[in-house]
Amino acid sequence: MYFYAQCFFRAVLIVVLFFPLMYFFPILYVPRMSQLWWKYLRFTLETLGASWIKLGQWASTRRDIFPVEFIDYISKLCYRCPAHDFAYTQKLIETTYAKKMEDLFVYFERVPLASGAIGQVYRARLREGKQIVVKVLHPTVEATLDVDLALMAFFAHVIEMLPGMKWLSLCDAIAQFSISMKAQSDFQIEANNLKTFQEHFKGHPDVVFPSLVEALPATRGVLAETFEEGEVLQNSKYLRAVSPESVKLAKIGLDAYLKMMLLDNFVHADLHPGNILVRKNEKGKLGLVFLDVGLVSHLSPSDFEHFKLLFKAIVQREGKHGAKLMVQFAKDHNLTPEEEERFVNDMDAIFQDVRSKKMSEIRVGEFLSAVLDTVRMNHVKIEGNFSTLCVGTVVLEGIGRQLDPELNILDASLPILVQGDVIPEDNAFKRRALWEKLKYTFGFK
């Protein structure tokens, strides 16, 4: 009964806050007034808390559902995530590990390094001398999470009942969001993700993930990991001017992402310049540190095979085949034969554009964006993780081209596709790509 009472009062608050957004929706078409609508949306999501801020961030990855204008705006919203009191942090840590703070740490900074929607991060030093960071879950997350997710599912069901809205598959989308939200609000899952990434990147010294602190085992609300030295990529000189070092960083980052996506099927789903550190080792060699691995994407075995084959179709310019692969990705698309034919033809048109370009001229990010737009316009439902991977690739290509304007994802993906037995080693397209690369490097005609 208490849960239903919570849902009722929370629903009233949500309706009150969202009503002005619906009522004043037309001002989005008035250029001078539209910013007011977006500012109020940010205020609404911040007021409702972590689940709704994360919903906004998640929506920015679902280009298969939402129009590009909405994606562009909501992805640029900068949310204010206030920190919780240090007293709560101290109580939670002491309760979790049954020890006083002074018995665990030489020092523990009272002011957090950062505060996000889910939790906040502190810097500390253990008694044994190791410098670490400690993540602590916000108290409000657990208090409202189940209620918010239940209400999101209810609202999604109501929207799907409206004429012409069922194709959005919002109930499935919110179910997927709920899984990712629960994963992010349980630091034990992030700890397991760290272990998996470290296992996958053994023997890759230029890619580092933080290590878990054995003395402080991860719990749902607390995660201790090693403090990793480095400069945040977002603030670094490498994004401001192209140099041999920035080109090297672009290659390291791209190779790591393609390995996650095309070999491991276990992808860091929240990569952005604020989650990446740049550093040099004792020998002066550049490397990257990937942080915040609470959110990952992985496809089912069959979808993973389809995804790799889609990459192969892009490389080999096989339009019809690539389009049919996208139909296979679809979930209960319920397309008539005529609608399916139109979708395949629309997809083939995108591949035709790719077919007319050299390998070095193909922008995979632009291609995948066009694919997702075509999926949305044809009302085709696809696996949410596929959309997340596509958007992640778009974001990565954007970062990579800031570091290296000549970055080419297809060139970089060829050795990995060969390694994964997707393209035979003697494939003609591999030889063609190599020849184009030699022509570019040495100026051959």
Classified as helix, coil or strand, 278 is: strand
Classified as helix, coil or strand, 196 is: helix
Q: Which sign, positive or negative, has the C-alpha torsion 216, 219, 222, 227?
A: positive
379 membership: H or E segment, kind and range = none
CA gap 267, 180 in Å, rounded: 13
The residues annotated as belonging to the active site are: 270
CA gap 327, 339 in Å, rounded: 11
CA gap 112, 174 in Å, rounded: 31
CA gap 81, 193 in Å, rounded: 24
CA gap 69, 300 in Å, rounded: 30
Residue type, 334: N
Q: Which of 140, 120, 137 is nearest to 218 (CA)?
A: 137
Q: State both tokens at 390.
A: 């596509």
What does the DSSP assignment read for 99-127? S-HHHHEEEE-SS-SEE-SSEEEEEEEET
